[in-house]
């Protein structure tokens, strides 16, 4: 029965169930250490009776169209899902993430606008750490291109347990990957480098904790980082090399798309200019030429009218 039902099954990125399923697999792939290749990495065990979502044939179709056709070999074996993890798997899976995350971008844009408005209303310009956060919020497209959506600037790690604390900045990307940035203002005049090193390590440890909290809260892939006022060139410090690599891939993809958009704009500008000039000429011909021809005809036909 499932086999025949699967004939009428269409892969659709606008279907929330399909999107959740595919992005969940993407998140698991992104969480695997990219330097460790595995010919058959187990991602999850899928209980068809518990999930009550897709049958095995529908899953095969989803995996084929979403992953296998894009050079990421994710497959089902009985009730388990595996991926052949290769050196380029991480690079290949990010465009899939972007494609399947697109229906969520509009809501992300609205959230970004709302959070930036709230931040501007509550920003304390006399507080050193808030000034640092403000710099991040307003220049994130330069500091970390690709993570341009402000998801939150103060969020509860757990709504039920307040002792888990409050996280700092979270930014989103077009790839369904969020980044937690824990900030800390260090006293550079204290002269105690040991204390600063301890504070720096503490904020990095905190970033790891809040990365996990954020992944559970927002149900997306989350990478972690810290940001202090003593880092070289105001660089963001990632909690591990895996997260740094993911951020680099997203930044490179983002910069590549921006460059491509610029190239298209440069190419299409002359084309649009020619189209505009042609429209002006056509308008001139249609509007002005007929009356001129009509007047010329009258003068030619009835020259004596000029004598009146």
The C-alpha atoms of residue 218 and residue 158 are separated, in whole angstroms, by: 11
The C-alpha atoms of residue 70 and residue 40 are separated, in whole angstroms, by: 18
Cα of 49 vs its chain's centroid, Å: 33
**What was the pLDDT predicted at 234?**
62
> 105 or 160: whose pLDDT is higher?
105
Q: At what angle do helices 105-122 and 128-143 cross, to 10 degrees?
A: 150
**What was the pLDDT predicted at 266?**
55
Mean pLDDT is highest, among 13-17, 37-41, 186-190, for 13-17
Where do the structural domains in the chain lie, given as residue ranges? Answer: 2-101, 103-257, 266-303
The tens digit of pLDDT for each residue in 239-277 reads 998 899 999 989 988 886 654 444 545 555 566 666 767
The C-alpha atoms of residue 194 and residue 200 are separated, in whole angstroms, by: 10
User: Residue 80 is inside which H or E element, if any?
Assistant: strand 80-85
- CA angle 161–165–167, rounded 5-degree value: 125
Cα of 302 vs its chain's centroid, Å: 73
Mean pLDDT calculated for residue range 194-215: 81
**What was the pLDDT predicted at 196?**
67
Half-sphere exposure of 88 (CA within 13 A, CB side): 6
pLDDT at 139 over 60: yes
Q: What percent of the chain has pLDDT over 70?
A: 74
**What was the pLDDT predicted at 93?**
92
**What was the pLDDT predicted at 218?**
86
pLDDT at 112 over 90: yes
**What was the pLDDT predicted at 147?**
95
Residue 150: phi and psi, rounded to 5, are -80, 115
Residue 299, token pair as written in the block: 């003068």
Q: What percent of the chain has pLDDT over 90?
A: 34
The C-alpha atoms of residue 152 and residue 49 are separated, in whole angstroms, by: 37
The C-alpha atoms of residue 167 and residue 110 are separated, in whole angstroms, by: 21
Q: What are 104-108's contacts with CB under 8 Å, separation 24+? A: 104/19, 104/176, 105/174, 108/149, 108/151, 108/172
**What was the pLDDT predicted at 2?**
47
Residue 238: phi and psi, rounded to 5, are -85, 150
When the pLDDT of each residue in the chain is averaged and rounded to a whole number, the result is: 80
239's CB contacts (< 8 A; 6+ apart) are: 204, 207, 208, 211, 223, 224, 225, 226
**What was the pLDDT predicted at 261?**
46
Do residues 223 and 247 make contact, with C-beta atoms less than 8 angstroms apart?
yes
> 20 or 291: whose pLDDT is higher?
20
Confidence of residue 291 (pLDDT cuts 50, 70, 90): confident
pLDDT at 151 over 90: yes
**What was the pLDDT predicted at 102?**
94
pLDDT at 161 over 80: no
Mean pLDDT calculated for residue range 58-75: 92
**What was the pLDDT predicted at 199?**
73
The C-alpha atoms of residue 202 and residue 186 are separated, in whole angstroms, by: 12
Q: At what angle do helices 241-301 and 89-101 cross, to 10 degrees?
A: 50
Mean pLDDT calculated for residue range 172-180: 95
Mean pLDDT calculated for residue range 119-142: 90
Mean pLDDT calculated for residue range 282-290: 72
**What was the pLDDT predicted at 206?**
86
């Amino acid at each position: 029965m499932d086999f025949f039902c699967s004939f009428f099954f269409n892969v659709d990125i606008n279907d929330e169930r399909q999107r959740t399923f595919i992005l969940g697999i993407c998140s698991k792939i992104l969480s695997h250490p990219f330097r460790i290749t595995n010919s058959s990495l187990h991602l999850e065990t899928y209980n068809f009776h518990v999930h009550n979502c897709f049958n095995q044939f529908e899953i095969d179709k989803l995996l084929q169209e979403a992953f296998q056709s894009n050079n990421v070999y994710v497959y089902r074996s009985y009730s388990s899902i595996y991926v052949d993890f290769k050196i380029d798997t991480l690079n290949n899976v990010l465009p899939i993430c972007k494609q399947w995350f697109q229906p969520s971008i509009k809501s992300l844009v609205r959230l970004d606008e709302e959070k930036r408005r709230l931040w501007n209303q509550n920003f304390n310009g006399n507080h050193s750490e808030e000034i640092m956060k403000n710099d991040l919020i307003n220049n994130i497209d330069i500091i970390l291109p690709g993570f341009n959506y402000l998801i939150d600037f103060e969020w509860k790690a757990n709504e039920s347990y307040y002792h888990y604390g409050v996280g700092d900045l979270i930014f989103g990307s077009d790839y369904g990957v969020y980044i937690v940035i824990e900030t800390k203002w260090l006293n550079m005049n204290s002269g105690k480098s040991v204390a600063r090193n301890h504070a720096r390590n503490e904020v990095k440890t905190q970033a790891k904790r809040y990365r996990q909290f954020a992944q559970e809260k927002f149900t997306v892939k989350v990478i972690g980082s810290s940001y202090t006022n003593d880092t070289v060139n105001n660089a963001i410090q990632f909690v591990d090399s895996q997260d740094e690599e993911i951020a680099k891939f997203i930044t490179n993809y983002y910069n590549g798309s921006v460059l491509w958009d610029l190239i298209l704009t440069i190419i299409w500008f002359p084309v649009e200019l020619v189209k505009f000039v042609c429209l002006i000429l056509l308008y001139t011909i249609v509007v002005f030429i007929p009356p001129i021809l009509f007047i010329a005809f009258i003068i030619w036909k009835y020259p004596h009218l000029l004598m009146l």
